[in-house]
Amino acid sequence: MTTATDHGTQDATHDGRTAVAVLGIGSYLPSVVITNDLLAEPAGVTEEWILHKTGIETRRAVKADEATSDLALGAARAALEDAGVKASELSLIIVGTATPDVIGPCVASQVALALEAPRTAGTFDIQAACAGFLTGISVAQNQLRAAGGYALVIGADTYSRFRNPADKRTTALWGDGAGAVVLGPGPADGRGEVIATRLASCPVETSVGGIEAGGSRLPASHETVDAGQHFVRMNGRRIMEIFVENVPPMVASFLEDTGYRLEDIDHVVPHQGNQRMVEGIPALLGFTRPRLHASAFEYGNTGSASIPVTLDRAVGRGEIKAGETVLALSIGAGMTFGFVLLRWK
């Protein structure tokens, strides 16, 4: 699935519909810092082992009274303020998350309630695991091109609640956080035009990665809790195989269809699975010129939040300049893929 504008278009798409732009961006990281020394002993490893394997030094975690909607709300307010858009002007709120507060209602509705968004605003969550945020960008772009208005797209996860302290393969990976963007007509007043988006998948069995229990197949019970089936489980080796096999040709096809080459890209913002994974992306994709942006070493894998958190970090530091292009790419359990190409203002 791809939506795109012409290579040189500034005010409208190739079919005459209004272009969509990022009008504002924001993020929210909880205050609790989890260092490697707090995780090493329960997992039966050393701090040095964690750093060597993952490249992650710290990550954030929610407090006892915080949940995903609290993080999402913090990021939403920051993005709205940055955009100069009021919650009353929103026509759509989308939250990409795999760790909602409750099975229902959706996090987006809880955010809408807290923001006092209008009843005319559509609200829903997207469960595409770590690709949820970019999936939301693609869905929102299509909606706004067709109907106009303003959309709030959020990526938020609290994986610390689903972390198995004894699992050395995964316990050090996860961090909590949220990032958000406000999308609207652009790019005249926007931070960055959404040039193109693409969604893809490589369906695999659930054992490759995910949370087994708590849904309709394995409802919560003493047995599922005792078996640790409410913790995140991952076959890291298989996930990396899928990533290596699929992402390079997907990126090449995506850019070719949008009229861009890898040499035209100034910045790459990938999903922050772990720092070592991010560091391997230039060699995997075969690029040397684009600047790679990472935050996993500081925040860990924040799931659907990792791309907007990393992008907001780069923007806040002035690392992305006017006229530069940004390629964002994500992979999530399932496996799900999302790609977004932006031209920054």
- What is the Cα–Cα distance from 159 to 232, expressed in whole angstroms? 8
Q: CA 132, 32, 97 angle in degrees (round to 5)?
A: 10
Catalytic status, residue 222: no
Q: Which of 106, 274, 293, 301 is catalytic?
A: 301
Burial class (CB in 10 A: 0-12, 13-18, 19+), 317: exposed
Q: What's at 74, amino acid-wise?
A: G
The residue annotated as part of the active site, out of 36, 267, 271, 293, is 271
Give the C-alpha separation, 310 to 275, whole Å.
Answer: 12
Q: Is 271 a catalytic residue?
A: yes
d(CA 301, CA 157): 10
Chain center to CA of 305: 4
Dihedral, 305, 308, 313, 315 alpha carbons, nearest 10: -170
In order of 5, 66, 132, 221, 301, the CA distances from 33 in angstroms are 41, 14, 25, 31, 14
State the catalytic residue, choosing from 130, 267, 274, 293.
130
Nearest to 341 by CA among 290, 233, 265, 256: 265
Residues 134 and 96: their CA atoms lie apart, in Å, by: 8
Q: Which residues are catalytic?
A: 130, 271, 301
